[in-house]
A and B are shown apart, each in its own frame.
Chain A
Amino acid sequence: SYELTQPPSVSVSPGQTARITCSGDALPKQYAYWYQQKPGQAPVLVIYKDSERPSGIPERFSGSSSGTTVTLTISGVQAEDEADYYCQSADSSGTRGVFGGGTKLTVL
């Protein structure tokens, strides 16, 4: 079955830049999406179509794509950004949803 691979954890100090990667064979053909999930809360969409930012999401959140890897970048990380981040896409046919395993972002 199709899988997306993320690092389990990323740590940065406040004000630094955090980069979270997500790899998958179908990513050149399918868009990737990113969600932020804080403890006890539902996930929130922070990036769609690889690099588009929904309204209400701070400009410090950005996304990029290169081949089989997509990257979520958080510039000028703030304490409130500490959360789990999940990438999501679909298989090559677009008929199976798939999530990465999640990355815990720790703000030191």
Chain B
Amino acid sequence: EVQLVESGGGLVQPGGSLRLSCAASGFTFSSYSMNWVRQAPGKGLEWVSYISSSSSTIYYADSVKGRFTISRDNAKNSLYLQMNSLRDEDTAVYYCARDPGMATINWFDPWGQGTLVTVSS
């Protein structure tokens, strides 16, 4: 069974940092691109970042560029999101999602169950 499990969420003060992880299983992780998508409480979905299978291609939404860093470790079947200089508006459930694309953004399937990040003093 293809499965994605996020972890690392929690409460952090504005200006702080947090690192999210996404553990993949049930498929050849190194063959797929991955994305992070977030959803603020009661709001819609927002794409955050993309990384290709070999980490050679990375994209960010303008709202997080320069503050967030996406990375992956194919040996550990894991995806990461390092979030620095966190703001109140970064409060959201963060999902990781698999992407079949090679260097452009395609569809997201499946998604993990999400991990909640709360930025508050």
Contacts and interface: CB of A to CB of B under 8 A. Distances in A.
B105 A43 contact: no
A76 interface: no
Contacts of B110: 42, 44-45
A28 B101 CA distance: 19
Contacts of B105: 90, 94-97
A1 interface: yes
Interface residues of A, number: 25
Given A48-B109, A88-B107, A96-B61, A42 B45 contact: no
Contacts of A100: 44
A40 B64 CA distance: 25
A88 B108 CA distance: 9
Contacts, number: 69
Interface residues of B, number: 24
Interface in A26-49: 31, 33, 35, 37, 42-45, 48-49
Contacts of B47: 88, 96-99
Given A42-B114, A97-B50, A102 B45 contact: yes
Contacts of B46: 99
Contact of A31 (B44, B61, B106, B112): B106
Interface of A: 1, 31, 33, 35, 37, 42-45, 48-49, 54, 86, 88, 90, 93-102
Given A43-B95, A94-B103, A96-B105, 11 more contacts: A35-B45, A37-B45, A42-B110, A45-B108, A48-B106, A48-B107, A88-B45, A90-B105, A97-B61, A99-B44, A99-B46
